[in-house]
Amino acid sequence: MIYFIISNSFHIIQEELNKIFKSMDDVEIIDYKDTNIDEIINLCGYTSLFNENKNIIVKNSSFLSSKESDNLEKLEKYIENPNPTTNIVFLFDNKVDERKKIVKLLKEKNTYIYIKPLTYKEISEKLISICKSNGYKLSESNASYITFSSLNNYDIAREELEKVFLYYSKPCEIQRDVLDNIISKSIDDNNFKFVDNVIKRDIKGAMDLIKNLKLFKVEPIMLLSLLAREYRLMLFTKYFVEKGYSNINIAKELSLLDWQTNKVVTNSYSYTFKELEDKLLDLAKLDYELKTGKIDKYLALEMFILKG
């Protein structure tokens, strides 16, 4: 059997996989980034001496998008005549090009599972259902609170709910005051901490935060923009400091609050003019490469951080 699952939610994809496979222990997981269609088809076509079923998951099936132009004739032929002892699931978390022949063929011949992003209400209902199945009681208002605090993102909401389960450790009714202490309030806090760590050259701290930012689906282009703004302010600040400006005058020139000015002035002492100029040039280059698709967005961010 051939399946195609498209969703931007890791947890939803996992829920669908659990319906297909009784256990993930005997499933071979392949990343399409590390292989090609020929290798995948050869693997699917293999039959064991004991006629055992083979289970395969192909992550990041980017050949289904409009940006990829791989030769898919071999896959199209396989879809027409698949190996009956092989179950293969193609996963994709981005936009599919519905005009492609391969997409039309998958939808026509196989199980095509497309899950649209969940609505606010759907996320809240799923949280209540998950709590109930685990013996917990979650009110509608508290479910809405978790959903809202998770920026209407199901994956984030699930992660926050797991924190709550760990806190209580046994089934009970979930209370609002506990949620207030556990649930992440805002993505802005992580953005602020990330920029601060990069500016202070805390590579480990910045790399650790990237994991959370990926979960929140924060766009690296936006983070690069925040970094560029900070380096630019530091560059101007160094110029004004050398000209003998006071912090009050610098705050007026750059339209900053007093505490912001103090912070920028302090941070600027750790950089030379050339270092700040080089950082801005690096960010401009990365911004161009990201927007033209020449480099993976998170890889670009990580490369910039590792330069220190």
- 200-221 pLDDT, tens digit per residue, is 999 988 888 887 677 666 778 8
- Per-residue pLDDT at 188: 62
- Per-residue pLDDT at 215: 65
How many beta carbons lie within 10 A of that of residue 121, not counting itself?
Answer: 12
Q: How confident is the model at residue 156 (pLDDT cuts 50, 70, 90)?
A: confident
Q: How confident is the model at residue 223 (pLDDT cuts 50, 70, 90)?
A: confident
Q: How confident is the model at residue 49 (pLDDT cuts 50, 70, 90)?
A: low
Residue 275: strand, helix, or coil: helix
Q: What is the mean pLDDT of residues 119-130?
A: 93
> Which tens digits make up the pLDDT trace of 169-193?
899 999 998 888 887 655 566 778 8
- Per-residue pLDDT at 30: 92
CATH code of the region 188-306: 1.20.272.10
Q: How confident is the model at residue 250 (pLDDT cuts 50, 70, 90)?
A: very high
Residues 103, 113: Cα–Cα separation, whole Å: 12
- Answer yes or no: is pLDDT of 113 > 60: yes
HSE-up (13 A, CA, CB side) for residue 89: 22
Residue type present at position 255: S
Contact 165, 134 (CB under 8 A): yes
- Per-residue pLDDT at 148: 78
Q: Is 81 exposed, middle or buried (0-12, 13-18, 19+ CB in 10 A)?
A: exposed
Which residues are 55's β-sheet partners?
A: 27, 87
Does the 2-114 domain belong in CATH 3.40.50.300? yes
* Count of residues making up the chain: 308
Which is more confident, 307 or 274? Answer: 274
Q: How confident is the model at residue 234 (pLDDT cuts 50, 70, 90)?
A: very high
Residues 4, 88: Cα–Cα separation, whole Å: 9
Segments of the chain assigned to CATH 1.20.272.10: 188-306
- Answer yes or no: is pLDDT of 89 > 90: yes
Segments of the chain assigned to CATH 1.10.8: 120-182
- Per-residue pLDDT at 43: 87
Q: What is the mean pLDDT of residues 265-271?
A: 92
Residue appearing with tokens 């896959």: 75
- What is the CATH architecture assignment of 120-182? Orthogonal Bundle (1.10)
Residues 106, 87: Cα–Cα separation, whole Å: 14
- Per-residue pLDDT at 238: 92
- Per-residue pLDDT at 145: 87
Backbone angles phi, psi at 113, to 5 degrees: -115, 105
Segments of the chain assigned to CATH 3.40.50.300: 2-114
- Per-residue pLDDT at 153: 83
